[in-house]
Structure 1
């Protein structure tokens, strides 16, 4: 049994909950997502007392998605749930954050340490006296689990968990028992900020790797750069951009890396996804004699069904915990330092130009007299409307694949869930991203989601309204689960959904001044995008946009076909 710390022994006694929320404020969190439950209620009282805002979501799953979106914009986030029923509702979203390297501090209100010790038969438990079962479930989707059962260790555990969350860019799990909330611990530690710097590489190893990389770069006649999500998640974008600008090497992004690179740079070449690549990209990249691959995640949807054709013999991989040059791996050599030194020492290279993506409407769409809004027409047209610093969220399905054909203006943040792909993610994520944008003074957060996906998490629009947020929401009405149709069961009733009256939802959820729109033709889209009032981003805008049931981006069709083949393999 742990003993309390005597207050007289402390220089600056503070409550455990105060310590926790002050540390979260220190690392940039300003809003805390989640839901109340009797095991976390007293802890929630500390949120406004420590400069934080309580969001108040409609359910824990949506809260987890929102915390994910908030973290992708702000760099880290926090969610509070209650023991058992609350945390398990959130675990899908936390798992997605783990798989996609998103840093979320998950705080779970626990029964008291006394109740745990005595194995009491409490509500929200399995009735078997095991109070560790849910924490054990979360261990597989958290990079650190801190059970705050002892005031002597609480401050150290909190500091370590938040630091690991930030540095590993993955969720952590912190239990906060009801009788620990007000326990006194040493607050003098708060005077020293957490060290959030990455441990430096061994200098001798790093310098050796840099020389090896430079040797192959100078020998290359047709090099290319491919940037993926982990360059963003592991905070290597400054070094990546320095390399891109100094070398002038044609640079491409994988779908998960969309938005990681400044797409206004002259050497930006578009999205590489194997057979689903932008025009001219696959030919240029796959003919390169050296590819600098930065932060790659080679999942099925990120490679358009594993259709990459880049030889490892022509590849240098840069990651958060190793560098691989062709088939030689250098463990522990983090990409940041290597990229910085390579850019500093690069000198003159052999560089051949790559394709230049644009937002021109395809010729066949321009010539067509059909007024129907098609996927091929819409996504380049969207690129003409977007503005610098926009935050764009796309849902798994047509939007995730369609956005590959949109060239972004400067400083656009793109949010998607290409690897985890949890249906309904984008609407919840939009709430968190819009809140983070508001805190940062960013004007526009824009969501694109299919009607099927939207129906899973539609009530999160009410959280947006409750928090005074003003995203622009596009719900693509194409009569059901399009990506599933292309994988299997095109006309099956399990891929159909109820036909909602979508534009009435903002009013139902309590919006007083939201504006709603229905657009069915290309001309109506053009008028909407030219409407300055619509484009302001000062009120919630809700757009139901109609597209054909059987229309989908070409990249989605090819990826779905590959997924169907993978699913059907017998051995």
Structure 2
């Protein structure tokens, strides 16, 4: 049965409805945006195509929500007007940087200069007025795994088009023009990669984020299980492969990596990086780079073998052929990898104040299979990356772009995605956000509550911008007020949005945290949970802490702890 017959689609439909049917065919079930006069012209088309509409509080939060929805579902969309589109720019740029397929649909009332606003920050942009142009945009979005800009003139929102094209597959792959040349190059690349692997005595595989973006997780996991090759994930792909596999070494965090991970990375004589997102990355507290001598990097659209780059090799064309071509009997066997968890040096007493080192260790023991964690890029993400996850546990975090406040909007996107997949009751959705980041985008908690979602919300209250305090090496500046924020009554936030029935708890000591995590009411997912975790203002996860141990004193003046 054809698509139009199955869903009773009329022979002539409005142009926007054609677009939303195409998104429906790619499993997108929700469109996000802030309501205004221009976008209201699309609401009927959204409903008629079987999609739902979620109205967000502001454009920045919209961009964060669709980013997380796209990471989870594999494609996402928001609509906006030309007067409001700049409000999405930060999130749009972040999605481009981290290879997230976001479709931005802009309703154009006036003439528009695409280059002025988009430039190089989308893989494709077009003003559409017929189904073939829509199909081209959507295919570029799906296979390119980066944002696409689609302009839709206001006068075309009621234009009728034939729906018959919906019966053709939208999954057709985007190929380069010289497909014959690419096919020959792929075979040569496969021969080179397999030759390097077979001659290696200490191979290592790095699973990076594009494996997850192209949904090759199960394929790579089966390959790693069969071959036993030691492998690591990265700060962008944490949780993409089950960490219970005996050949899992750990998470490569660059200069913040555990010693065993650095040892494997430095001693490997052939490092195969699958789905590479970045090769070199540096911020204020971490340098991420691959230093091993014999490197093979598989990007989305090219392959790099040592210092030679081969262009126009698409990951979704190369990877399946490579995996099927590898003879596992020719790969050197490796001993099982023993991974030490980041555990406290001494088990603290129940009355001991909470510290980062104990908090993330204890949180990792509370996590269970299937959990989905949305985390800010500060101390919470760093602490979690150092811990071992249960199987099928996902971490959603903006590791490269690092927008403050990302996790609140992202939480809405993740909750919506799992609802749309019919799996919301099968997963615990856990939001971990710092008190500073919360103040950027807390309004979107209102949308989360409006739709009846009930996530776990952990707020790290360390009285301001802790990472920034720590990175300031001059002691005279450690107590500067520009790292402080106005204190909020954090546990009362849900009541601001007319939510009266929810679980709330404040934890300041080890005993209070342990009691919380074992509390039956807390572990009942039928109710919204909000937890405030009180931590010193200068306390950070152990691998981020570059300060001299002599200054790590709870009573020292640089450690501020909120009074309760």
TM range, normalised to the smaller chain? 0.7 to 0.9
Distance apart, 1:526 and its partner CA: 1.5
Deviations 1:145-188 (A, max 9, x none): 2213xx4xx21221111111111111112222322111111211
**Is residue 95–residue 141 contact of structure 1 (8 Å, CA) maintained in 2?**
yes
Structure-1 residue corresponding to 2:556: none
C-alpha contact 1:228 1:254 (8 A) present in aligned 2:
yes
Whether 1:399 aligns to 2:380 is yes
Instruction: Tell me how far 1:546 sits from its aligned partner.
Output: 1.0
In structure 1, which of residues 308, 313, 325 is the aligned counterpart of residue 305 of structure 2? 325
Distance 1:382 1:453 in 2: 20
Unaligned runs of 5+ in 1: 1-10, 117-130, 560-571
Match of 2:89 among 88, 91, 103: 91
Change (3 A) 1:300 1:554: farther
Q: Which residue of 1 aligns with 2:404?
A: 423
Deviation at 1:368, TM superposition (A): 6.2
- Asked if 2 retains the 8 angstrom alpha-carbon contact of 1:269 and 1:354, the reply is no
Kindly indicate whether the alpha-carbon contact (under 8 Å) linking 1:448 and 1:474 is maintained by their aligned counterparts in 2.
Answer: yes
SS in 1 for 2:249: strand
In 1, are the aligned partners of 2:18 and 2:131 still within 8 Å (CA)? yes
174 and 502 in structure 1: CA distance in 2 versus 1, 3 angstrom threshold: same
1:267 Cα deviation from its structure 2 partner: 0.9
* TM score, norm. by length of structure 1: 0.87
Give 1:127's aligned residue.
none
Structure 1 residue 220, shift from structure 2 partner: 1.2
In the alignment, which residue of structure 1 is the partner of 2:6? Answer: none
Report the aligned-residue RMSD.
Answer: 2.3
CA distance 1:16–1:395, change in 2 (3 Å)? same
Q: Is the 8 A contact 2:282 2:288 kept in 1?
A: no
Aligned position for 2:560: none
1:529 aligns with 2:517: yes
What's the offset of the Cα at 1:471?
1.2
1:379 match: 360
Q: Is the 8 A contact 2:431 2:455 kept in 1?
A: yes
Q: Deviations over 1:470-499 (max 9, x none)?
A: 111111000101122123353222211010
Which residue of 442, 445, 450 corresponds with 1:461?
445
Q: Deviations over 1:199-256 (max 9, x none)?
A: 4884432222222212211211111111222222233334422331221011111111
Q: Distance in 2 between matches of 1:95 and 1:411?
A: 29
Give the aligned partner of residue 165 of structure 1: 141
Deviation at 1:275, TM superposition (A): 2.4
Structure 1 residue corresponding to 2:234, chosen from 239, 254, 266: 254
Question: 1:234-273 alignment to 2 at 5 Å?
Answer: 234-273=214-253
Name the CA distance, whole Å, in 2 between partners of 1:471 and 1:369: 27
How far did residue 77 of structure 1 move?
0.8
CA distance in structure 1 between the partners assigned to 2:546 and 2:132 by the alignment = 50
The answer to whether the 8 Å contact 2:67/2:410 transfers is: yes
Equivalence for 1:294: 274
The 1:558–1:133 alpha-carbon spacing in structure 2 relative to 1, beyond 3 Å, is: farther
**Aligned positions, number:** 524
Unaligned runs of 5+ in 2: 1-9, 548-564
Q: How does 1:486-505 map to 2 (within 5 A)?
A: 486-488=470-472, 489-505=477-493
Cα deviation for residue 357 of structure 1 reads: 3.0
Contact 2:204 / 2:265 at 8 angstroms: preserved in 1? yes
Contact kept, 8 Å, 1:465 with 1:509, in 2: the verdict is yes
* Residue of structure 2 in register with 1:362 after alignment: 344
Provide the residue aligned with 2:507 in structure 1: 519
Q: What does 1:87-126 align with in structure 2 at a 5 Å threshold? A: 87-111=85-109, 116=110
Indicate if the aligned counterparts of 2:272 and 2:297 stay in contact, CA closer than 8 A.
Answer: yes
Distance in 2 separating the partners of 1:310 and 1:16: 51
* Counterpart selection for 1:479 from 463, 470, 473: 463
3-state DSSP of counterpart to 2:522 = helix
Pair 1:409-2:390 in alignment: yes
* TM-score, normalisation: structure 2: 0.88
Quote the Cα distance in structure 1 between the aligned partners of 2:198 and 2:222: 18
Answer yes or no: is 1:447 the counterpart of 2:431: yes
Call closer, same or farther: CA 1:368–1:526 in 2, change over 3 Å: closer
CA distance in 2, matches of 1:79, 1:92: 14
CA shift digits 1:65-100 (9 cap, x unpaired): 00111111111111111222x211111111111111
Matched with 1:126 is none
- Give 1:516 deviation, angstroms: 1.7
Q: Which residue of 1 aligns with 2:160?
A: 184
Could you give the per-residue CA deviations for residues 263-315 of structure 1, whole angstroms, max 9, x where no partner exists? 1211111111232112411112211111111223135358963264623x311
